[in-house]
Amino acid sequence: MFWQNLVFASRLVQAGTSVKAVARDTDVTEVANAAAAKRILEFRSALALNDLRLSLKEQQEGFRLASVYEQFLKLWPSENVTFSPEIKGNGLLNTCFADLAVGKTLYEVKTVSRSFQSRDLRQLLVYLALQSATGEPRWEYGGLLNPRLGVFCSFSVDWLVTRLSGGRPPKLVFMDFIQSLTRDVVHDRRF
C-alpha cells in the first residue's frame, strides 16, 4: 500500500492547488487513484486493476499523507520537487526509482509507526551509490521522511559516508560497494 499512497499523495500534491481543495475534486482523485494502481501494476503485474484501486479508507489515508507532504514541501518553496526520481542502474542493479527528491536532497520515505532506525538508511545508500556511479552529481544530502509521524531528518552524504567508512572518500566507498555487488555474486548456472 505504500507505493499506492505515495503515488496518490504525489498526484494530489502536484495538482497545483491545496490538498484540501483537491480532496473535493473527484476527477483529480480518480486520476490519482488510477495512477497509483498503474504504478503498482509495474511491480505486481499478476493483480487485477480493480484489486489495486484504493478503498475509501485508503484514499482518506492518502489525503492525510498528501497533507503532510504538502506541509513538508512548504519548508522549501523554491526547490525542485521530484516524486519517484529515476536512478540509473549499474552492474546487477537495474534502473530504479527512489521515493522523493527535494532540491539537492534525496529522501527515503518510511511510512511506519516507529522511529527511524539504522536499517532505514540502507536503501537510501544504495540509491546514492548508484547515482555516484553515474559520475553526475545530483544529491549532496540524504534524508529520511516519515509522513505518518510527520518527522524527517537530513544530512550531508559526504559527512555520513566518511564517518561510516572510517574516513574514506564517499566516491571510493560507493565505487567499492557497486563493484562488490558484481564481483561477489554467484552467477546462475544450468543444471
What ranges do the domains of the chain cover?
2-73, 81-183
Average pLDDT over residues 89-102: 85
Does residue 191 carry a pLDDT above 70?
no
Pairing of strands 105-109, 100-102: antiparallel
Per-residue model confidence (pLDDT) at position 184: 55
Of residues 35 and 66, more confidently modeled: 66
How many Å from the N-terminal Cα to the C-terminal Cα in the chain? 38
Q: Considering only CA atoms, which of 109, 113, 119, 127 is closest in space to residue 73?
A: 109
Report CA-CA distances (Å) from 10 to 83, 99, 116, 118. 6, 10, 22, 26
For 156, phi then psi, to 5°, come to -70, 130
Average pLDDT over residues 55-59: 78
Q: How confident is the model at residue 144 (pLDDT cuts 50, 70, 90)?
A: very high
Rounded-to-integer distance, Cα 140 and Cα 79, Å: 14
Rounded-to-integer distance, Cα 52 and Cα 54, Å: 6
Residues facing 24 on adjacent strands? none
Helix, strand or coil, per DSSP, at residue 162: helix
Helix, strand or coil, per DSSP, at residue 150: coil
* pLDDT tens, residue by residue, 42-51: 766 676 666 6
Contacts of 54 (CB under 8 A, 6+ apart): 4, 5, 8, 33, 36, 37, 62
Stated pTM of the model: 0.80
For 119, phi then psi, to 5°, come to -65, -20
